[in-house]
Amino acid sequence: MPTHDEMVRVVERYVEAFDHNDPEMVVALFAADGTVEDPVGTPAHKGTEAIRAFYTRSMKSTPKLTLEGPVRTAADFAAFAFSVRLNFGGEKKIDVIDTFRFNEEGKVVEMRAYFSPQNMQGFD
């Protein structure tokens, strides 16, 4: 199982990938059979190709992610709060909490994003 520091580094690389607008950098963090449920309650994107397509679409609006506090870890999970800032038709912000579950190799096997319309500002 990855250590706290290893899981934190994956989260930091995830944020960095958005800074570089690089979906391949995100894909490299996931196991081949990983899943992305963003937001929770929507159908999951499963596997490398689906994850790549999801992040390629997500990065088209060049979102800027900012961690809002420390990464929390327990067992094989990391949870982190962050804000997403978008600038199309004016600035927009989404407050999100993501969780990552890791496999023994330190790859993300499950990502879940927690937010709802109540966490979105500027989308009127």
Note the CATH number of domain 4-121: 3.10.450.50
Q: From first to last of its 124 residues, what are the pLDDT tens digits of the chain?
A: 999 999 999 999 999 999 999 999 999 999 999 999 999 999 999 999 999 999 999 999 899 999 999 999 999 999 999 999 998 778 899 999 999 999 999 999 999 999 999 999 988 7
Rg (CA), the chain: 14
Q: Tell how far CA 75 is from the center of its chain.
A: 19
Paired with 108 in beta bridges are 30, 102
Structure tokens of 34?
Answer: 């990983």
- Tell the residue number behind the tokens 């109540």, with chain if given: 118
Single pTM value for the model: 0.95
Residues designated catalytic: 14, 38
Domain layout of the chain by residue ranges: 4-121
